[in-house]
């Protein structure tokens, strides 16, 4: 006996769906590769914006020149914008905090056309005294992200600088 046509069609449809799910692109995790801009930096080398690039290299909590610090310990809002090698449909940004932790306030994604979108804002509950990889998650962007801007509150800890060692973008190609 022949199967009704609609059953064959629905079976085919199921196979296509399963194929699509198993072929889903893997999550790509990239460390920042270039500084686009920064509001300020404590130094051109130590504590400079370039210190956020690449893999983490600040392994102890404290005031370390291997992390980015703004020019002043406290004051107006600060930010750093970094780009990544592979544009991705992004779903998270990791901000490695190594001093004055708990200071991230907003994160913006910048698409391949240079358009800027706020993707995260909220309470950063990262605790001090340890190096911490703070991860801000958000619904996957429908546009390809090539850069992110991290906005921080330098007054989060009035006794310290607020320092970032590394920034990582999570997404799929």
Residues that bind Ca ion (CB under 5 A): 73-74, 154, 157
Beta bridge partners, 149, equal 81, 108
Q: Which CB atom, from 31 or from 161, has the smaller least distance to Ca ion?
A: 161
Q: Are 41 and 71 in contact (CB under 8 A)?
A: yes
Q: How far is the CB of 75 from Ca ion (least distance, A)?
A: 8
Q: How far is the CB of 123 from Ca ion (least distance, A)?
A: 17
Backbone angles phi, psi at 167, to 5 degrees: -135, 130
Q: How far is the CB of 161 from Ca ion (least distance, A)?
A: 6
Distance of alpha carbon 73 from alpha carbon 42, whole angstroms: 9
* Residues 6+ away with beta carbon under 8 Å from 3: none
Q: Which CB atom, from 37 or from 72, has the smaller least distance to Ca ion?
A: 72
Q: Which CB atom, from 141 or from 155, has the smaller least distance to Ca ion?
A: 155
Q: Which CB atom, from 87 or from 154, has the smaller least distance to Ca ion?
A: 154
Q: How far is the CB of 62 from Ca ion (least distance, A)?
A: 14
Tell me the longest C-alpha to C-alpha distance in the chain: 81
């Amino acid at each position: 006996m022949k199967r009704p046509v609609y059953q064959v069609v629905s079976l085919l449809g199921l196979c296509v769906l399963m194929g699509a799910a198993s072929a889903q692109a893997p999550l790509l995790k990239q460390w920042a590769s270039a500084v686009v801009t920064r509001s300020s930096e404590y130094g051109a080398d130590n504590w400079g914006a370039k210190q956020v690039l690449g893999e983490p290299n600040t392994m102890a909590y404290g005031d370390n020149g291997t992390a980015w610090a703004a020019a002043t310990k406290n004051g107006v809002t600060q930010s750093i914008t970094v780009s990544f090698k592979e544009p991705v449909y992004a779903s998270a940004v990791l901000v490695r905090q190594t001093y004055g932790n708990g200071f991230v306030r907003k994160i913006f994604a910048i698409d391949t056309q240079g358009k800027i979108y706020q993707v995260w804002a909220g309470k950063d509950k990262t605790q001090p005294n340890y190096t911490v990889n703070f991860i801000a998650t958000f619904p996957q962007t429908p546009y390809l992200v090539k850069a992110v801007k991290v906005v921080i509150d330098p007054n989060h800890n009035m006794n310290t600088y607020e320092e970032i060692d590394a920034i990582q973008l999570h997404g799929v190609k």
